[in-house]
Amino acid sequence: MKTDWDVIEVLRYARHDWLNKIQLIKGNLALNKIDRAKDIINEIVAEAQAEAKLSNLNIPQFASLLLTYNWENHSFQIEYDVLDGTINGDLNDDWLTNWTCTFFACLNSAIKPFYENYLSVTIEPQIDGTRFFFDFRGIITNKEKLEEFLEKTPSSPEIVVQSWTEQELSLDFFVSAAI
């Protein structure tokens, strides 16, 4: 699941992403679709702002996981958003990254491949820690595997399942910051 990206690989993937975005803008401008080109530019700006917020949370392994996840071949794509706020103290980056990698691997093997599966990760920094929301939309084919994973997760932090159907899974948990 985890790839150790070297600088050249990161630059290659980032350059590829940027070239794709520039081609989208150029193509829409060539078709005289000015409004669509402006929308793409606004999407790029919003994505760059989310990347900056994520990078500034002082959880580098977790940030790296989210920033590079879509560069690899998985059965779902992720989106992430960092809500405004400041983390006071330190989060356990190792634990958070390991749990998330394991969750991503479990989810990846419990959903329908080659389908439009999406996982939205929302991070809400708070005064005494950070709340994490994971919201999956797609086709879940092995609910038992996910149940087993959640049962094996330690009780701290407590993971709360908000909703769970064959087409969605929403859960959240709060991680206290060590001050």
In a domain, 38, yes or no: yes
Q: With respect to residue 167, please indicate whether it lies within any of the assigned structural domains.
A: yes
- Tell me whether residue 170 is in a domain: yes
Residue 120 lies in a domain: yes
Residue 15 belongs to some domain of the structure: yes
Which H or E element spans position 6? none
Q: What is the pLDDT of residues 11-36, one digit of tens each?
A: 888 899 899 999 999 999 999 999 99
DSSP classification of residue 3: -
Higher pLDDT, 7 or 164: 164
Q: Is 143 helix (H, G, I), strand (E, B) or coil?
A: helix
Identify whether 1 is part of a domain: no
CATH number of the domain at 88, please. Answer: 3.30.565.30
**Domain assignment of residue 33, yes or no:** yes
Its domain, for residue 163, covers 7-176
> Domains in the chain: how many in total?
1
pLDDT value of position 89: 67
Average model confidence (pLDDT) across the chain: 89
Q: pTM of the prediction?
A: 0.85
The pair of three-digit structure tokens given for residue 138, joined into one six-digit string: 């797609």
Over the stretch 135-171, which tens digit does the pLDDT of each residue have?
Answer: 999 999 999 999 999 888 776 678 888 889 899 999 9
Tell me, yes or no, whether 2 lies in a domain: no
Token digits for 14?
């980032």
Q: Summarize pLDDT for 55-67 with one digit per residue, the tens.
A: 888 889 999 999 9
- DSSP for 70-111 reads GGS--SSEEEEEE-S----SB--HHHHHHHHHHHHHHHHHSB
